[in-house]
Structure 1
Amino acid sequence: MGTHEIRVRLGGISRQRVYELAMRRSFPEPVAELEQGRVWLAEDVEAWIAEHRREIADVEGEA
């Protein structure tokens, strides 16, 4: 799962917001760094979203 897929999965948040989330210590480690950017295992990202959904929604609501 790349940043675009994460953006879509989280309801079209900005690319910058995905990068901010990916910098958090709690965010999963990428499995690869490609020319196009970092990629993560979908199940790792889905688990992270499930655990942090309320936190993500709260911050997005403030924007």
Structure 2
Amino acid sequence: MGVKEIADLLLVSRQRASQISARRDFPEPVDTLAMGKVWLEDDVMAWAVATGRVVDDTVEEFDPRDR
């Protein structure tokens, strides 16, 4: 997932999602493409649940392909 999908998941702006993804405790990206860094959805979801940014019952509801 990219910054846009992270923003959608966390209900924040792309700019804020970019700031969050730069935190030391945020998962490492798996690659950097022309469009930017990308992360595994499972890693981001685990981080979001562990930090209280997403509650457990919303984890199964999130699917970035639903856009």
TM-score, normalised on structure 1? Answer: 0.78
CA distance in 2, matches of 1:28, 1:51: 12
Alignment of 1:3 with 2:35, yes or no, is no
- For 1:10-59, what per-residue CA distance to the aligned partner results, in whole angstroms no more than 9, with x for missing partners? 12x111111111111100000000000100000000000001125x8xxx
Any runs of at least 4 consecutive aligned residues in structure 1 with deviations exceeding 4 A, and if so which? none
Aligned-pair identity (%): 48
Task: Name structure 1 gaps, 5 residues minimum.
Answer: 57-63
Alpha-carbon RMSD: 1.5
Q: Provide structure 2 residue ranges, at least 5 long, that are not aligned to the other structure.
A: 55-67
Q: Shift of residue 8 of structure 1?
A: 0.9
Q: How many residues of Structure 1 are paired with residues of Structure 2 in the alignment?
A: 54
SS in 2 for 1:50: helix
Q: Between Structure 1 and Structure 2, which shows a larger proportion of helix residues?
A: 1
Which deviates further from its counterpart, 26-35 or 45-54? 45-54
Q: Provide the residue aligned with 2:35 in structure 1.
A: 36
